[in-house]
């Protein structure tokens, strides 16, 4: 179908929706965005030519509602549907429904999605295709059978969800005593995330690398591979840093991985862009095993685009409309090395807890690719994934690309909610990362440094605020970067106060001066100042004389009470008034940015009051469960 009668509906949100719309616009293809209530003012909605509200925040009533999305397609006259990643991207029923509605599905045929959607079936298909698989068990879902299989395989054992991906529904058991808990936790998370609690138990490789191969297939039976990607830097099975090509691979392994990926894709008649993922044993790098196939575009597709020059979204459009893979991707050649880091709204120095709020400042070097779902003024809500953007750099070789990442993270500023840019700055300078010798467990096993000291940033923010105010009549914009000037006592002797996260600092103007290692900017309209130090962007409030900074919200909870550590939605309440608990007992389970978090009792006690119910939204510091002591006094 030509572009003149093609109209694309993007069944996704955020960064990937903007990415898909960008390629469609480059081809002059009209676009339709669908959005849930919290995304009403999101940038991807404004990017599209048309936008349709499909429901409230709840995923089941919006981004996971097949009926609502198809109704939007019919209402707008869309002819094609691209699912992006996540949500319904690997849902065979959705793909079939799109096709049955007479629309073109920009993705693999439903049969391929279904075949790879179950890790159990995928293992069997890979084995039949001659692709190496790791020893495991999937013949029964009976607890006793799975435990027996784990004993036969030998510990440590990996318990992982059969359906879905993205690190959900995965637990490790190091001994038989841990198996029952690992099995229950993996099943519970898998059921919540994918609606399917089936699991696989398999050998746990002690030092695994996560290496994947990008493939593109067509409707004529041809498959091309676009090389390897390394995705070993992960936190709790969530990717943080990806690069192409995978470094430090023996040539035989590189060739073997790419051949195995093509064989598997051909075996299922794969006809779109997709990724075949493998585990490579870091201790024996010629040993690799099939992990799973993602039948969609990947978050990290960008690094493959950078080293091949191929627009993978465009290739998906082409093969969906019947083009041969050779026409869609041309002659595949590779140039240099590319690295992507994921910018997440999370506090890396405080257990990676998710963050929400309004984005105030976004500043990225011009020579860097920045694929983001946010702009200044965007709201980050607790309803969806914490990833807000991706920084992608390209260099002539890996060493140059690593330096480019380091330089980029020196300059990037994302103000407002706390992000992980400071953590990424630290990560890019770790010797194992620089050398490319990481494993998937490296990040979970290494000790993170202490959180950076906020005072130097506070001083720089106060200095910038005072200087901007002094020069405001001549400044062209309050967002201009502050240059190195010194304020003398004669300029102003008033004190500048800045506050952040319950802390405040006061600096006499006569003592303020520039710190060349800190970048500072101000937003006078919202009384905020931003300072970036070692990759970390600190956001400070500048209170008026009449304002006082409130104490940390978590202090509202009495000792022993259970308070929300961050904004979330209550997933499950485990106790009722009058119940007694012991130290470590789970009291409430909350969900934030698609991850479950169990809140446990700090000590033995009796529940006095339960202030929330399943489905309630809570803010940081809200008291969820209140306790009384054994003597009847408030805990």
pLDDT in tens, 76-117: 999 999 999 999 999 999 999 999 999 999 999 999 999 998
- Per-residue pLDDT reduced to its tens digit, 193-213: 888 999 999 888 889 999 999
| Residue 108, token pair as written in the block | 């693999």
195 falls within a domain: yes
What pLDDT is attached to residue 546? Answer: 57
Q: Note whether 193 and 68 are same-domain residues.
A: no
- What span, in angstroms and rounded, lies between the C-alpha atoms of 70 and 78? 9
Q: What is the mean pLDDT of the chain?
A: 90
- Say if 115 falls within a structural domain: no
pLDDT at 239 over 60: yes
Confidence of residue 620 (pLDDT cuts 50, 70, 90): confident
Burial class for 192, CB neighbours closer than 10 Å (0-12, 13-18, 19+): middle
**What whole-number distance in Å separates Cα of residue 509 and Cα of residue 118?**
63
Whether 477 and 510 share a structural domain: yes
Confidence of residue 484 (pLDDT cuts 50, 70, 90): very low
Kindly list the distances between the CA atom of residue 343 and the CA atoms of 21, 353, 418, 423, in Å, as whole numbers in the listed order: 21, 14, 10, 10
pLDDT top residue among 631 and 579: 579
Is a pLDDT exceeding 90 seen at residue 4?
no
Answer yes or no: is pLDDT of 153 > 70. Answer: yes
pLDDT of residue 493: 55
Three-class secondary structure of residue 335 per DSSP = coil
**So what's the pLDDT on residue 65?**
97
Alpha carbon distance 594, 616 (integer Å): 15
Same domain, 292 and 331: yes
Q: Please, are residues 32 and 6 in contact by the beta-carbon 8 Å criterion?
A: no
H or E element: which one contains 55? strand 50-55
568-584 tens-digit pLDDT:
899 999 999 999 999 88
State the pLDDT at residue 559.
61
* Cα–Cα dist 51/300, whole Å: 26
Residue 410 domain-assigned?
yes
48 and 100 together in one domain: yes
Cα separations (Å) of 327 from 10, 219, 319, 481?
Answer: 24, 12, 9, 46
Is the pLDDT reported for residue 251 higher than 70? yes
Q: In which domain, by residue range, is 60 found?
A: 3-106
On the question of pLDDT at 54 being above 60, the answer is: yes
The answer to whether residue 158 sits within a structural domain is: yes
Instruction: Indicate the SS3 state at residue 49.
Output: coil
What's the pLDDT band for 596 if we cut at 50, 70, 90?
A: confident
Half-sphere exposure in the Cβ direction for 462 (13 Å, CA) = 25
Residue 243 lies in a domain: yes
User: Residue 122: is its pLDDT beyond 70?
Assistant: yes
For range 438-457, the mean pLDDT: 93
Q: For residue 572, give the CATH number of its domain.
A: 2.40.50.100
What per-residue string of b and e applies to 449-458 under the rule 16 or more CB within 10 Å gives b? Answer: eeebebebbb
424 and 275 assigned to the same domain: yes
Query: Looking at the structure, do residues 28 and 90 belong to the same domain, yes or no?
Result: yes
Same-domain pairing of 485 and 558 = no
Structure-model confidence comparison of residues 397 and 381, the more confident one: 397
**Same structural domain, 280 and 223:** yes
Residue indicated by tokens 């909605």 = 45
Which residue, 590, 577, 579, 583, is CA-closest to 560? 583
pLDDT at residue 37 above 90? yes
* DSSP conformation letters of 225-270: EEEEEEEEEEETTEEEEEEESPSS--HHHHHHHHHHHHHHHHHTT-
Pick the last residue of a domain from 203, 231, 249: 203
Structure tokens at 102: 């007479």
- pLDDT for position 471: 56
Asked if 491 and 608 sit in the same domain, the reply is: no
pLDDT cut 70: percent of the chain above it:
91
* Residues 279 and 297 placed together within one structural domain of the fold: yes
Task: Identify whether 234 is part of a domain.
Answer: yes
pLDDT above 90: residue 163? no
The answer to the question of residue 125 being in a domain is no
pLDDT, residue 489, reads 38
Question: Residue 571 and residue 614: Cα distance in Å, rounded?
Answer: 5
What is the pLDDT at residue 118?
84
In the chain, the number of structural domains is 5
Instruction: Evaluate whether 186 touches 159 at the Cβ level (below 8 Å).
Output: yes
CB atoms within 10 A of CB 153: 18
Q: Are residue 287 and residue 423 in the same domain, yes or no?
A: yes
Is the confidence at residue 395, as pLDDT, over 50?
A: yes
> What CATH number is associated with residue 53?
3.40.50.20
Q: What is the largest CA-CA distance in the chain?
A: 81
Question: Strands 361-363 and 413-415, how do they pair?
Answer: antiparallel
**Angle of the 176-194 helix axis to the 143-153 helix axis, nearest 10:** 120
Note whether 354 and 408 are same-domain residues: yes
pTM of the model: 0.80
For the chain, the C-alpha Rg in angstroms (whole number) is 26
pLDDT recorded at residue 602: 83
């Amino acid at each position: 179908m030509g572009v003149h009668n093609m109209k694309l509906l993007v069944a996704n949100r955020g960064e990937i929706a903007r990415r898909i719309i960008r390629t469609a616009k480059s081809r002059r293809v009209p676009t339709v965005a669908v959005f849930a209530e919290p995304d009403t003012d999101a940038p991807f909605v404004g990017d599209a030519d048309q936008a349709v509200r499909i429901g409230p925040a709840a995923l089941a009533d919006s981004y996971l509602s097949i009926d609502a999305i198809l109704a939007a397609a019919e209402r707008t006259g869309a002819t094609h549907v691209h699912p992006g990643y996540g949500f319904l991207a690997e849902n065979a029923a959705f793909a079939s429904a799109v096709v049955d509605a007479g629309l073109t599905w920009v993705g693999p045929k439903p049969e391929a999605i279904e075949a790879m959607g179950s890790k159990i079936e995928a293992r069997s298909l890979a084995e039949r295709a001659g692709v190496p698989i790791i020893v495991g068990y999937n013949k029964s879902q009976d607890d006793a059978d799975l435990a027996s299989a784990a004993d036969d395989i030998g510990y440590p054992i990996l318990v992982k969800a059969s359906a879905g991906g993205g690190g959900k529904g995965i637990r490790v058991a190091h001994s038989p005593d841990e198996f029952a808990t690992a099995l229950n936790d993996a099943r519970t998370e898998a059921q919540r995330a994918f609606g399917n609690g089936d699991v696989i138990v398999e050998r746990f490789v002690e030092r695994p690398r996560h290496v994947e191969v990008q493939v593109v297939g067509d409707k004529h039976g041809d498959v091309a591979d676009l090389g390897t990607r390394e995705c070993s830097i992960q936190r709790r099975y969530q990717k943080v840093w990806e690069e192409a090509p995978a470094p430090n691979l023996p040539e035989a392994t590189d060739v073997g991985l790419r051949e195995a990926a093509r064989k598997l894709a051909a075996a299922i008649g794969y006809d779109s862009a997709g990724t075949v993922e493998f585990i490579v044993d870091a201790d024996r790098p010629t040993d690799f095993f099939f992990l799973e196939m993602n039948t969609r575009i990947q978050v990290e597709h960008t690094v493959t685009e950078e080293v091949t020059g191929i627009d993978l979204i465009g290739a998906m459009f082409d093969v969906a409309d019947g083009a041969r893979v050779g026409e869609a991707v041309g002659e595949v050649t590779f140039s240099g090395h590319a690295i992507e880091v994921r910018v997440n709204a999370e506090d890396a120095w405080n257990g990676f807890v998710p963050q929400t709020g309004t984005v105030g400042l976004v500043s990225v070097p011009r020579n860097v690719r920045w694929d983001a779902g946010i702009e200044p003024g965007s709201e980050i809500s607790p309803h969806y994934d914490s990833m807000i953007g991706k920084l992608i750099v390209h260099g002539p070789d890996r060493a140059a690309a690593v330096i480019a990442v380091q330089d980029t993270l020196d300059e990037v500023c994302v103000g407002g909610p706390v992000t992980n840019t400071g953590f990424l700055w630290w990560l890019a300078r770790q010797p194992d990362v620089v050398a490319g010798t990481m494993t998937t467990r490296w990040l979970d096993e290494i000790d993170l440094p202490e959180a950076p000291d906020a005072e130097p940033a506070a001083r720089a923010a106060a200095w910038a605020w005072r200087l901007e105010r002094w020069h405001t009549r001549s400044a062209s914009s309050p967002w201009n970067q502050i240059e190195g000037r010194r304020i003398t006592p004669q300029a102003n002797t008033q004190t500048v106060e800045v506050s952040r996260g319950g802390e405040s600092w006061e600096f006499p103007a006569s003592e303020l001066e520039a710190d060349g290692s800190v970048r500072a900017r101000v937003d006078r309209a919202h009384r905020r100042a931003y300072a970036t130090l070692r990759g970390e962007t600190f956001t400070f409030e500048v209170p008026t004389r009449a304002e006082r900074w409130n104490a940390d919200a978590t202090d509202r909870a009495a000792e022993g009470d259970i308070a929300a550590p961050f904004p979330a939605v209550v997933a499950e309440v485990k106790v009722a008034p009058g119940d007694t608990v012991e130290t470590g007992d789970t009291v409430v389970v909350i969900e934030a940015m698609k991850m479950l978090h169990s809140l446990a009792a700090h000590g033995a006690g009796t529940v006095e009051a339960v202030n929330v119910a399943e489905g309630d939204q809570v803010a940081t510091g809200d008291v969820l469960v209140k306790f009384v002591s054994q003597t009847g006094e408030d805990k």
